[in-house]
Amino acid sequence: MLARTADNLFWLARSMERADYIARTIEATLRLDYLPKSDGDQTMEWESALNATGAYDSFMAAHGQLDEENAVEFLTFDRSNPSSICNCLENARAAGRAVRTALTAETWTAINDAWLELQRFEASHRFARPMDRLALTRFLDYVKKASLDFDGSCYRTMLRNDAYWFNRLGVFIERADNTARLLDVKYHLLLPSTEPVGGSLDYFQWVAILRAVSAATAYHWVYRDRVKPWLIADLLILKRAMPRSLVSCYESIDRALDALARDDGRSGLAQRHARAMHAKLERSSMTQIFQGGLHEFITFFIEDNARLSNTISEQYLFT
């Protein structure tokens, strides 16, 4: 396969996954926003939403001051934010158009339909700013569905060859990055010392974290317990059964890279790097992670994950 094709497939999948994650983050933040507030900073939630999507610095550079309307606009329709949902979907389609021959008709249609729908949302948004909550909810639902359609059509219709495996690598490296960033922003809430107090704002914060990665229901199925912060960390880092946990993402990354190596008959640095990261996650326990520092663990993971992405680019000549 052309190196450029592999590159586009990889980033196409990353863009679709990122759009989904940003939509979920906004949703979870809106829910927090509904909570009765005591005094204090009204915009803290939006600050952490921007941080969790890696957009805080560019937002502040553009706006100087935080408010909900601008934060939502920045994360959804703002073309000047390279990671806005709009840009993610636009980039996904541009990448898809560049590699149409490597996509199934179903997958292309999923991407193209999402993009056509986006044109309609953008057009109506132009005349109705700011968005009311109803319009915003409808938009976020659409984004989640677009990502789901894309992922589903890949899974159901693509040949299990290199095109598929580069696509999977994009999905899971992006997903691992997203989960880790969310943990990074909220890590202070997840430390064992923060004892749960029923009905506290913290409690709703934890639930919001779970919602952001569509794990609120999953949590209860796994732990059959009320929401406890260290169990959230456990779920999102070490639970294999949880599809957005770091370990689950690495299981999939490892498998995709193995499949590529098997088809090519060549195994390289990317395979070794992924295997090492996967093994480390499998060996870890939450006790260990808390002892070494949750923050340090996550920061290191984010960097290591980015390193793997670069190694893949080099090994498969995208760069």
Partner 1 sequence: MGQVAAFDEMGIGRDPVRKLYRKVAQWLEETPPDLLAARRAQAEYMFRRIGITFGVYGDKDAAERLIPFDIVPRLLSRAEWTALAAGLTQRVRALNLFLKDVYGARNILQASVVPPELILRNPFYRPEMIGRSAPHDVWIHIAGVDVVRTDEGSFYVLEDNVRTPSGVSYMLENREVIMRLLPDLFARHQVAPVDDYPDELLACLRSVAPRPDQGEATIVLLTPGPHNSAYYEHSFLADKLGVELVEGRDLFVEDDKVFMRTTLGPRRVDVIYRRVDDDFLDPLVFNPASVLGVPGLVGAYLAGNVTIANAIGTGVADDKAIYSYVPDLIRFYLAEEPLLNNVPTHRCREPLSLKFVLERLDELVVKEVNGSGGYGMLVGPHATQAQREQFVAKIRADPANYIAQPTLALSTCPASFESGVSPRHVDLRPFVLTRPDGVRIVPGGLTRVALREGSLVVNSSQGGGTKDTWIVDDADLED
In the window 298-317, what residues touch partner 1 (CB under 8 A)? 316-317
Closest-CA residue to 89 (of 120, 51, 129, 130): 120
113 binds partner 1 (CB under 8 A): yes
Judged by beta carbon, residue 62 or residue 116, the one nearer partner 1 is 116
CA 130 to chain centre: 25
- Gap between the Cα atoms of 146 and 248, Å rounded: 23
Task: List all residues 6 or more positions away from 67 whose beta carbon is below 8 Å from its beta carbon.
Answer: 43, 46
Q: Report the nearest approach of partner 1 to the CB of residue 210 (Å).
A: 36
In the window 225-264, what residues touch partner 1 (CB under 8 A)? 264
Task: Tokens for 277, please give them.
Answer: 């990261």
Closest-CA residue to 232 (of 199, 214, 207): 207
Judged by beta carbon, residue 41 or residue 314, the one nearer partner 1 is 314
145 binds partner 1 (CB under 8 A): no
Lay out the site mask for partner 1 across 152-171 (x = CB under 8 A, - = otherwise).
----------x---------
Judged by beta carbon, residue 33 or residue 113, the one nearer partner 1 is 113
Selected binder of partner 1 within 21, 108, 219, 230 (CB under 8 A): 108
Q: Report the nearest approach of partner 1 to the CB of residue 309 (Å).
A: 15
269 binds partner 1 (CB under 8 A): no
With CB under 8 A as the rule, give the number of residues binding partner 1: 22
With contacts defined by CB under 8 A, name the span among 28-36, 84-92, 107-115, 294-302 that binds partner 1: 107-115
With contacts defined by CB under 8 A, name the span among 74-82, 95-103, 184-192, 212-220 that binds partner 1: 95-103
- Gap between the Cα atoms of 242 and 236, Å rounded: 7
10 binds partner 1 (CB under 8 A): no
94 binds partner 1 (CB under 8 A): yes
Kindly provide the b/e burial profile for residues 93-123, where b requires at least 16 CB atoms within 10 angstroms of the residue's own CB: bebbebbeebbbebbbebbeebbebbeebee
97 binds partner 1 (CB under 8 A): yes
Tell me the CA distances in angstroms from 100 to 53, 77, 133, 160, one per residue in order.
29, 26, 36, 17
* Cβ(242)–Cβ(218) below 8 Å: yes
- Gap between the Cα atoms of 239 and 261, Å rounded: 27
With contacts defined by CB under 8 A, name the span among 112-120, 170-178, 269-277, 291-299 that binds partner 1: 112-120
* Cβ(175)–Cβ(13) below 8 Å: no
CA 317 to chain centre: 25
With contacts defined by CB under 8 A, name the span among 30-38, 94-102, 139-147, 242-250 that binds partner 1: 94-102
Q: Report the interface residues with partner 1, using CB under 8 A.
A: 1-6, 94, 97-98, 100-101, 105, 108-109, 112-113, 116, 162, 264, 266, 316-317
